[in-house]
A and B are shown apart, each in its own frame.
Chain A
Amino acid sequence: MSKTKTKPVLEVRNLSTCFKTDQGVVTAIDDVSFDLYPGETLGIVGESGCGKTVTSKSIMRLLPEHLSFQKPESRVMYGGLNLAAATEAEMRTVRGDKIAMIFQEPMTSLNPVFKIGAQLEEALSYHTDLDRKARRQRAIDMLRQVEMPEPERRVDEYPHQLSGGMRQRVMIAMALCCEPEVLIADEPTTALDVTIQAQILDLMEGLKNKFNTAIMLITHDLGVVAQICDRVMVMYAGRVIEVASVRDLFHNPQHPYTQALLRSIPKSGGRQKGERLPTIKGIVPSLFNLPPGCRFQDRCEYREERCVRDEPLLEQHGNRSYRCHLPLGGAQ
């Protein structure tokens, strides 16, 4: 892949985030490492509790400080700055400006008592030195850029007057107002209908091409991943278990979990009546009670004795990596 030649915009190394809970300290994400290149869309997939949201919030340092901490070896390198060790003041220059984030629920991410124009202008006043009039014009431009119908009118409306899709457009406009290098999108379309989801994904795709933004797309929907991502990182119980290009991953998964996950989605088109879906037995283990060895071993159909004994490492194989003693192999 040509991507490997360019320098990554974000390098995450050994990122581990722990939470202090009543039952003791729990490691929500354990030793997560990956690179994000300019102009690519990296999909992060996994089931609930696998740590995909914690990863994004750890990068942005948005987790409550009194309840969580990052292990000292964690490094999140952005333009020579280690975000994992940066001061709050340094983080403020990065957040929103260089790395922006959009969330799942656009209703709760917008302040309901301010007009959307005012909220956009506020974001602009933080990160730019435009005057009032220019800010307003810029806000309208931003709304037009995210294909909001009638931006001149919408800029003076309140969040509750907009539909879910339009609110997500406002969130994207806000995230993009400083042309960030990295956009972290945490389940941006989960709360939306499919036709609206298509609109938003299309919009993100277009903006990525226009600004060469690197997008980290967190989702549980493998269909979305297949359609718009370049590379995919699969997480399971706090671990990265496989990273590969989207083609390699869908056509030739190496980790049994990835394979099982792909198989358990109903296929479109090729339906046989009464056909049962392949499933993964059991449930995701609790982070407090992880099985010995590989975290997936108790649900894995290929398990061997050494899977129970040693946890495999995330190893690089060509331009993909996976964490398995018994990779599925097949045409590489």
Chain B
Amino acid sequence: MSSTPQATSAPSWWSKFLQGRGVRKFKRDKMAIGSLVVILVYLLCALAVGLNVLEKEDAFARVGPGWTPGFGGTQNGEKRLQDAEFRIEQIERAAAATQAEDALKALNFGALVPFSNDPEVVSARVAEAWAIFNATVEYDDLEEDPAAAKLLLDLESKVEELYTQPTGLSSLVHSLRMSLGTDLQGRSIMFRALYSTKVAVQIGIISALFSVLLGTLLGAAAGYFGGWVDHLVIWLYSTFSSIPWIVLLMVLASAFRGGPFDGTLIPVYAAFCMSFWISPCRVIRGEVMKLKELEYVQAASAMGFGKIQILLKHIIPNTAHLMFINFSLLFVGAIKAEVILSFLGLGVKGQPSWGVMISQAKAEVLNGFFWQIGAATFFMVILVLAFNILSDALQDAFDPKHV
């Protein structure tokens, strides 16, 4: 009775939180739980990429002929013939190289490697393949004519023999790799999209975090101290917010061009923070102006506590819910902005991102190939949607004003 052990206070706080009204309300919201799971999957995926489970090379490696459709989709005869030709040519070129053995060793289409590293053996089988190929080319119509169709199938199985087919785990990885097809340069769309998840999450978290921190700091200072500090901050954000954010982003992105940070994500972070700090700053400034009139803040002043202590202990912690809401809004905002910026060629460089993918898909879309733009858009939309649902649900569940 005489003393409550302090050690138990933290876990009991946590269990109280878990049994609280907000959490119970949240748990009943099926959509919210679903979106939470989706977001966790994305975060895990980003973490996995960050831990080099999927390397940058995987996103750049040529894994097959260009513009392969996903989900083993059917292609017309013409395209199948071209693909076969491409695969034969690749292995033939390696076998004919001066350092043929090394070239053959180096050749791979993801998990697919030449069936043998001996140039002689390879050349022999390549020749057989060419023979079938030449016979097939004779036909004009490769789909209607049964003889041509048979030849095409023979050709494809011959081409397959040129490469060892993966087994076990690596075959699973390979089918994942090919699941969304390849882009113009024969790179795995799936792996590029997955790698982009990491880029997106990274940009989202870092830009949202720094924007919120910057905005909170400036907003809290402006709201609490008032006077010239307030005037300065208001002047800053009205100036910044009078420039359309996309223009600001473009200016900043081009300012960094050629500098030491070119090719990294730092210009993107800088540009986003510059334009995103305004909304948290505004909200937090207003909240702080309200909070500083509250009696517990006055009580702290009456105690003689210093202004910084009051600000840090009594005011800023009570804006946490706004910081959290702003973080989730800016996280989504940054991801969408990255796509636009990269589409304009000002954003991410030297690595894939959803924006880069969409930008590169420009030519494909004109030719009726939608796999790359579809994959990038799908990945982004799902994440953004899940985040929006989650932040709405969180607001519903934890905002004391909602009954």
| Physical interaction between A and B | yes
Binding site for B on A (CB under 8 A): 21-23, 67
Complex Cα–Cα for A21 and B24 (A): 11
Binding site for A on B (CB under 8 A): 21, 24-25, 403
Can you pick out 6 interface pairs between chain A and chain B where the beta carbons lie within 8 Å of each other? A21-B403, A22-B21, A22-B24, A22-B25, A23-B21, A67-B403
**A interface, over-half SS:** loop
A77 vs chain B, min Cβ distance (A): 30
A286 vs chain B, min Cβ distance (A): 13
User: Smallest CB-CB separation from A19: which chain B residue?
Assistant: B403
User: Smallest CB-CB separation from A23: which chain B residue?
Assistant: B21
**B interface, over-half SS:** helix
A97 vs chain B, min Cβ distance (A): 30
A-B pairs with lowest CB-CB distance, top 3: A22-B21, A22-B25, A22-B24
B274 vs chain A, min Cβ distance (A): 38
- Which of B21, B24, B25, B403 is packed against the most chain A CB atoms within 10 Å? B403
Query: Which residues on the A side are within 8 Å of B403 (C-beta)?
Result: 21, 67
A289 vs chain B, min Cβ distance (A): 15
Complex Cα–Cα for A67 and B403 (A): 9
Query: Which residues on the A side are within 8 Å of B24 (C-beta)?
Result: 22
Complex Cα–Cα for A22 and B24 (A): 8
Complex Cα–Cα for A326 and B124 (A): 111
Complex Cα–Cα for A93 and B403 (A): 30
Complex Cα–Cα for A23 and B21 (A): 8
Complex Cα–Cα for A23 and B25 (A): 9
User: Smallest CB-CB separation from A67: which chain B residue?
Assistant: B403
Complex Cα–Cα for A124 and B12 (A): 58
A28 vs chain B, min Cβ distance (A): 13
Query: Which residues on the B side are within 8 Å of A67 (C-beta)?
Result: 403
A312 vs chain B, min Cβ distance (A): 32
- Which of A21, A22, A23 is packed against the most chain B CB atoms within 10 Å? A22
Complex Cα–Cα for A22 and B21 (A): 7
B85 vs chain A, min Cβ distance (A): 66
A46 vs chain B, min Cβ distance (A): 21
B189 vs chain A, min Cβ distance (A): 45
Complex Cα–Cα for A133 and B261 (A): 74
Query: Which residues on the A side are within 8 Å of B25 (C-beta)?
Result: 22
B27 vs chain A, min Cβ distance (A): 10
Complex Cα–Cα for A66 and B25 (A): 16
Complex Cα–Cα for A67 and B402 (A): 12
Complex Cα–Cα for A233 and B41 (A): 59
User: Smallest CB-CB separation from B22: which chain A residue?
Assistant: A22
A158 vs chain B, min Cβ distance (A): 24
User: Smallest CB-CB separation from B397: which chain A residue?
Assistant: A22
Query: Which residues on the B side are within 8 Å of A23 (C-beta)?
Result: 21
Complex Cα–Cα for A212 and B24 (A): 51
Complex Cα–Cα for A22 and B26 (A): 10
Query: Which residues on the B side are within 8 Å of A22 (C-beta)?
Result: 21, 24-25
User: Smallest CB-CB separation from A64: which chain B residue?
Assistant: B403
B281 vs chain A, min Cβ distance (A): 28
A329 vs chain B, min Cβ distance (A): 42
A155 vs chain B, min Cβ distance (A): 34
Complex Cα–Cα for A119 and B176 (A): 67
User: Smallest CB-CB separation from B24: which chain A residue?
Assistant: A22
User: Smallest CB-CB separation from B25: which chain A residue?
Assistant: A22
B1 vs chain A, min Cβ distance (A): 20
Complex Cα–Cα for A67 and B25 (A): 15
Complex Cα–Cα for A78 and B322 (A): 48
User: Smallest CB-CB separation from B28: which chain A residue?
Assistant: A22
Complex Cα–Cα for A23 and B28 (A): 12
A62 vs chain B, min Cβ distance (A): 15
B17 vs chain A, min Cβ distance (A): 15
Query: Which residues on the B side are within 8 Å of A21 (C-beta)?
Result: 403
Complex Cα–Cα for A189 and B25 (A): 37
A113 vs chain B, min Cβ distance (A): 21
B399 vs chain A, min Cβ distance (A): 13
B22 vs chain A, min Cβ distance (A): 9
A17 vs chain B, min Cβ distance (A): 15
